[in-house]
Amino acid sequence: MQKLAAFVSLAILASQASAVTVWGQCTAFTACDAGNTCIKLSDWYSQCQPGVTTPPPVTTPPPTPTSTPADPPTTTTGTFVPPSAAATGLTTRFYAKGKKFWGTCADPGTLGKSGNVAVIQSTFGQVTPENSMKWDATEPNRGSFNFGNADQLVNWAVSNGKLIRGHTLVWHSQLPGWVSSINDKTTLTSVINNHITNVAGRFKGKLYGWSECLTEQGGLRDSVFSRVLGESFVTVAFTQARSVDPNAVLYINDYNLDSNNAKTQGMVALIKRVNANSQLIDGVGTQMHLEANGAGGALAALQLLASAPVKEVAITELDIKSASANDYTTVLKACLQVEKCQAITSWGVADPDSWRSGNTPLLFDGQYKPKAAYNALIQALA
């Protein structure tokens, strides 16, 4: 069990091993389910596909995998190794470059799809709950908490050896009406503190969350939090989070922090103000929901965010319209050039499950096959 300082997450190897299911990634250390065979799709990715029985394992045991496993061969041999140990996907290669992980988002709905699960197991090292930890899901009525879907996600991640990032504690969207209708400072402060105590407290030592709060001009976004408490709600939230889990590394996160623009500058200025007297905000995340050919500002954005008084920077929800190899590798290279940039999370696995599915923005297609952008990333990380 290893605590990762970035998000106070636990990585635990799966306690029981099983053969890789159909559409999962196969390697020299994995075996496909009966009726499937390992097919080489590129120099860096092989996949269990239906129709052919997997050949029997060789009689000699496979070599012990190292921190940088060999590229997958065209056939499967040997004994299954849990994905976190045998994976040759993005997270393993990204880690070898000194970073912490390449992750994705998930929830019980997408974890019910075998193809989706197989890719997460073999390719990604972390999961973010897409919706199950947001306020409307966890506290739909005041003081009444529901952790059913969040618990499922966390339990799956722990049993499959994946890190977990919380998402979100305080956010202007997906709020229950009872929160939005509060107009008293004392009441809202109490509600924020109680929500963070229950949500962060439940998963203490496993994960943590963050907030979004800025307009495109760099000022505070209009929300119940800013209307009632002004900028102080940011300090209120981070102070309570620090109290609930003193060892957590706390992130603030927002979208359109994709270049050296007014919003990115406003985020840096906000962090400087909040952290003026003590280190409340430890990391800043840029979501990077990009348009095609929109990755050119990534390096400048990361460099500017890294100039804030934070320990880490992360790309937290990456997807790019049309998923060109050039756009994805541009983002990757930007993160590699910025020392504080510690992690990248893709906002989904395969295009059909993306919140912007019509833009085909992810690294895997509807058949869970890696796209050209995935292969380009692997090549760039070789």
Catalytic residues: 212, 317
Within the chain, residue ranges assigned H as helices are 83-86, 90-96, 108-111, 114-123, 135-138, 148-159, 177-180, 185-202, 224-229, 232-244, 262-274, 298-306, 325-337, 372-380
Determine contact, residues 77/62, Cβ cutoff 8 Å.
yes
Please give the Cα distance from 314 to 316 (Å, whole number). Answer: 6
Amino acid 113 reads K
Per DSSP, the three-state class of 106 is: strand
Determine contact, residues 127/157, Cβ cutoff 8 Å.
yes
Determine contact, residues 107/85, Cβ cutoff 8 Å.
no
Please give the Cα distance from 120 to 293 (Å, whole number). Answer: 27
Cβ contacts of 128 within 8 Å, gap of 6 or more: 103, 104, 105, 106, 164, 165, 166, 167, 316, 317, 345
Please give the Cα distance from 319 to 329 (Å, whole number). Answer: 12
Residue 102: phi, psi to the nearest 5?
-120, 120
Please give the Cα distance from 33 to 226 (Å, whole number). Answer: 53
Length of the chain: 382
First to last CA, the chain: 28
